[in-house]
Structure 1
């Protein structure tokens, strides 16, 4: 026997109160001898014995009353009692694995594992006694309760179970067991159970530490009433013969693209089976319309990548889907989604630090042509980038408000008001591109844009190396020209040049440059040059990983680096944007190079639109603020959302995405003349869910031993087990009846004994 409120059982010590009163009352009379006393001695002896028996009975009844009251309040529970009524209400936590591997079909004519799990769960719920409470936990991805709290409405539970879909991410076993522990601890009946239905996929369970399972067992046993744990494996254990082909990933070579620009998509396809799968049809869909098709051929256990291309003719958030036609055991992984942002234009402001009236002689001439080639060539085609060139003194907040990317080309310095506006501009999610040149002041950039100032620079500018080009095109030191290292570029803004068809950056000559130095290196150099600048005046060290090296010269000097600042990004180039310090602007690759930089920077400050299941979807919206927004989930459900507003920018979030697929954020306008706006976010699940290997019976038995659980093959087998399992029963109700009986008995006895004495 155990107690749900064990501390109250100590109230039974109150039986001492009537006992003490009884003992004290025994000493409250005085013996007085008188002459005729001997005539009554025989009568007194008989009556005294009877009086003692009466007082003892009253004492026992009065002592039993506080004891029974304390036991009722402590709620005692009988355990290990075989013969209990079958209608004892239960508290049941149903833990159902709804990861998308549960959508598998073991044999062609059988239902999916999810359908079998739902049927078994409904069978268990239907057999529960009246008054039982149930809470259903779906554990694919991140565990989610289908009811806010345990409910006795079993019909509603069955309806909730019917809505479950095997579409969530990988089963997080530790989080699922934790959620089950919390759920069963909050339930009210003494008869408590946790029933876990899963396919016991090997990738989900094999990595779970057995010591962690043992700790869960200890937690359950430490509860006032330990729950009974039952594991129900779904599907057969030997799945080596199951055939499955999956699309593991779909990736774009860039997060954004302009209208009319070509985007390259790579689909990774894997054959998990032991049979070759030749010529599987694969289709590329954009906004649910097929735009391209190809075939995939895979050997047993092989993986391949397919390259697809597409040109978008419409701006906005676009949905890309790759769909594979394959008759296999798991249909859920035969398609993959991604989203891409198609831009109409990118507004770029160019600040010329050394303007010139002659064509291409200023600092921004080549940049203007490279970013808007159709406009300068008077072509009817539209440019993705729209540029505006200004002088340094014209830079202000109103100019920045219309820009997405700001370029400082050989700008010597800015005033404090401009620096403040620039810092706000970048940290709000916009981008800054800085080119060096002969006008810049290294000290000013270090002081005002370095760590002690606005803290925008990814690295600091070292002293100039090399010799700039003279006006006649001869620097007198041709042997001193340096080149960029022709390496494999990992930075997304440079990956285009990993293909030889795009040209080689090593073909460009760099005549003069400022080597980019890590912040701490520059600080060490400063402290060596000036010992007075130490202690509190020393610049703070840049955190590890704060800056990313984009490209180096063959000398080993860093020439290009970038760093995130707030929600924005800063790209620093240690050479100029004209021909005085490099002939890069004359190279054919200069146009795609700067366009790649600008395209990448234009969306670098935006939250990703392609995320993993379990992450949070975040969308920024800076346009009209009078729309009503809703999230539309992959399963069609809708959820209203309220934006967080900061600096006239709305931020929408959907935390902890559970289902893989497309989440659509739809903004409805109150004005009938304005159309709805939709932003898409794609959530992708762990591709390991496509591996259908499951734990063996022996491995499941080991898990059951660690958890202190019992294994049942099906819902029917669970019901048979339930009929023979030992449960506990609360006995406070009969104790309460006994308490009332004792109170009545005490009154009756007291009245009866008093009448007899009269």
Structure 2
């Protein structure tokens, strides 16, 4: 359409309805040129003009403007970061314009429906006996919307969406909070394809600095996605007191932990057989969470390193087991009684204990507790010791199942059962997944680094989700 070369229909005012919502922003300069061309034609024909921005329809009555005044108003229009309010624009037209057949009508549409495009077009059609001129984006020029999040295997990904159109390609750019470019990822939309995905290949430390994703060249609110902590990825190190190569998969102390956390975190495990060496190696990987499954007493040097890491913001998650039951004394939320409680033992239950509902101060509050989850054995708090820890989960008889305490900027969490199904069927449940997920989500993304610590540790095995 070339409005500067066409004759305006009717003899009354020129009505220009212009979508100025988020989807109009990327082609706003072209829309301004269209409006200018229409105003030039109206000026030559001495026709008054009615401007109607659909994202910001006026509350006052629509009134014809001179071409000069209309140019001032048009120059002040800007795309707004929300969808057009065409229903309100239609109500304004029905309220103020009643002389059907006299108007020359142009609608500069953004090409999206929003559920009320047809009704708005009918309202415009009632004002003229001539056809309503609708200008839409060209093939392959429809608005793009962006949504960022966590993709397969924890990769940072972006989903690009459009209403339709021809082939199109582009680039999504990742920015830090300081507006630094951290990465780029391309995407391609074939004809008729409505969605595409762009995935970023970034190291975890860089990935977690991404604060904003943008489609390059798309200057609209819909082409920007701001990221929060939910999109950030934690690194979780896991160590077991049992040799991994000798453990059967379903009996391994770490099997259920890995399965529970692999969709939500990067799981790293050391190949070192020596527990102290394995822990030291993992701590060099800038962990958010360290999981120790049935680890007894730590050697002094390792103990100091873990304590320092916790004080700087690390989260230590420990699971009970025979080794911890016999010799676990340090890095616990509460002192433990030597020897635990087991079904049929000296401190026994007559039957396996179910879980009590989580109280409102627990981070697990709101999770549903299945009556089918039972505990056959647990480590107990020392009754003679003063307990200052938080109890996040209890059994029905009131004894702790999960305890926690703050240490410096970090936290120590203890599950009073094993990480596998030896003492309870909790690790086999969906509740276990959600409990671990909430613990990880509460952890710091990047605990402070010890002074003089290396930036890169020795190679470790990164266990991917299968």
Measured against the shorter chain, the TM-score band is 0.3 to 0.5
Higher alpha-carbon Rg: 1
Larger RCO of the pair (alpha carbons < 8 Å, separation 6+): 1
